[in-house]
Amino acid sequence: MCIDIAYNVFEREVFVGVAADQVSGRTRHIARRRSLVVLAIFTAAMLTAFVAPRVGFGLVCGALILHLLPDSLAVAGDGP
């Protein structure tokens, strides 16, 4: 969870330094939303792991999939 918090800080700093014509506002919004969802999943996994370690591990794996497939949240709202 601490690593993901550091990632969120890093991501914010990168987006502050990038010009608006290089990364659209929509892309920034989707990336920010995905990062916060992953952080929430990691937090839930940390708390769940005390009671059900395997479920906690499954939540961690699900959160990491969101980082491996970064466009997975954007595809649902995009049309042809």
| Neighbouring C-beta atoms of residue 29, cutoff 10 Å | 11
Q: Across all residues in the chain, what is the average pLDDT?
A: 81
| pLDDT value at residue 66 | 82
Q: What does pTM read for this prediction? A: 0.73
**Boundaries of every domain in the chain:** 1-9+30-80
Side-chain-side CA neighbours of residue 71 (13 Å): 2
- Whether pLDDT at 27 is above 80: no
